Chains A and B, each alone.
Chain A
Amino acid sequence: MFGVIIIFLFVIIIFYKQINLTYNNNVIIEKTINSSSTADISEPKFAINNESKKIYITASQGNFISKDEVLLNKNVKFKSSDFSIETEKVIFNRDKQTAKSKTKSMFKSKNATITSDGFNIHDKGNKIIFYGNSYLILK
């Protein structure tokens, strides 16, 4: 009886995840179509340079907030030789080479993953602050 309940719950979880994934994908596609026309830059690409490495920044859209600040939207990725960060919204300052996000973020490096409520990149990528309730997994 207990086994049947476990299998039942497992099936429900899989269905729930499937439905959720389909729904989320539809929402993302819909939003992209709706807002793609309002973006200042589509598929923006930037880089943060420091002495030891380069951090490449990509996103689906970008909107200028000021001369130096760009709001990067959707599928925002930071990638260097030893880590990557993914999130949905980032304000990138081209002059100061800083980036700030208040959306759920995921940092990945070799054998380590950090999820947080946002992040702040300073000092040309040397210092990364992850905000709020943060969760680090080391393998």
Chain B
Amino acid sequence: MKLIIKILIVFLISITLNAREIGETEITTEDGIEVFQNEKFYLLKQNVKIVSDNFTLSADEVKINFDKSLYDITELDANGNVDFKSNEFEISGNGNFLNFKVKIEKIKVEGERSQLITNDIKMFSDGFIEVSNLNGDFLLKGINSKLVNENIIVKAETINGNFSENANEKEITYLEVIDKNISYVKNNDTEMYAKKINFDNDTSIIELIDDVIIIRNEEKITGDYGTLDTRNNSYKIKSNNQNKVKVIIQSNE
């Protein structure tokens, strides 16, 4: 009984001593902290864990730039096995490297199998994913880059775009998709391939440039240039060579 009480006491005291209070950020490392006062940054070394009310992050190493004092964080670089979640920005992700610029709310995740997940949009890449929370700009670059939301799937080497907040949902306002091999966009029941694909929410037009293929139901149409109007789901395809537009209608049987 005495032993149990002692264990309980030690346990409770250790919890009391290390407990983070509301509003505080708790950082633990296994191999120390290096503070560079003149250069205004500190290094957190080995198995770093950062926990605050709205943010958690774990990584092998973290570099934090500060302004006035250690608490006044301006930029964070996390390296190796980075995993994070922000309740405030409703975003989570992982990758080999993370850069977060606090004041401009710009986040960049880099490395193989990088992911950035928000409530409405999921982004994946083996290169990097960059999102600016203030203006909604995003850029995915590298192989296996993919963007998925409720209405659209995009796969390409470069996916550049912008989303805006509309009725608490993130809506894509423009997209510029480029792949030297082939880009892929799926919108509702239509699959589109082209070297370059653009989308403008103002005109509701998806523009397809070079090596265009549009597949819908059993129809497959190829050409050099195409447009798809997302309002009425109609599309047009043309070719530089008049004879080149090709329609293949597949039978279900």
Contacts and interface: CB of A to CB of B under 8 A. Distances in A.
Contacts of B235: none
A131 B30 CA distance: 9
B113 to A, nearest CB: 29
Interface in B1-50: 5, 8-9, 12-13, 16, 18, 20, 23-39, 44
6 contacts: A110-B68, A131-B32, A134-B44, A135-B18, A135-B28, A137-B25
Contacts of B73: 138
B248 to A, nearest CB: 62
A28 interface: no
B241 interface: no
Given A128-B37, A131-B32, A137 B26 contact: yes
A130 B25 contact: no
A21 interface: no
Contact of A130 (B5, B33, B68, B69): B33
Interface string A108-139: 01111010100000000111111111111111
A9 interface: yes
Nearest to B31: A132
B247 interface: no
A16 interface: yes
Interface of B: 5, 8-9, 12-13, 16, 18, 20, 23-39, 44, 52, 68-71, 73
Contact of A110 (B28, B31, B71): B71
Instruction: Name B's interface SS.
Output: mixed
A34 interface: no
Nearest to B70: A112
B16 A138 contact: no
Contacts of B16: 13
Contact of B69 (A9, A109, A116, A135): A109
A110 B20 CA distance: 17
A27 interface: no
A12 B52 CA distance: 30
Interface of A: 9, 12-13, 16-17, 52, 82, 107, 109-112, 114, 116, 125-139
Contacts of B31: 132
Name the 6 nearest CB pairs between A and B, nearest first. A111-B71, A112-B70, A136-B27, A138-B25, A138-B71, A130-B33
Contacts of B28: 133-136
A126 B38 CA distance: 6
Given A82-B69, A133-B29, A137-B26, A16 B37 contact: no
Given A17-B13, A139-B24, 7 more contacts: A13-B9, A109-B69, A127-B35, A131-B32, A134-B32, A135-B26, A139-B71
Nearest to B38: A126
B24 A137 contact: yes
Q: Quick one: which of B16, B20, B44, B70 has the most chain A CB within 10 A?
A: B70
Contacts of A112: 69-71
Contacts of A134: 28-29, 32-33, 44
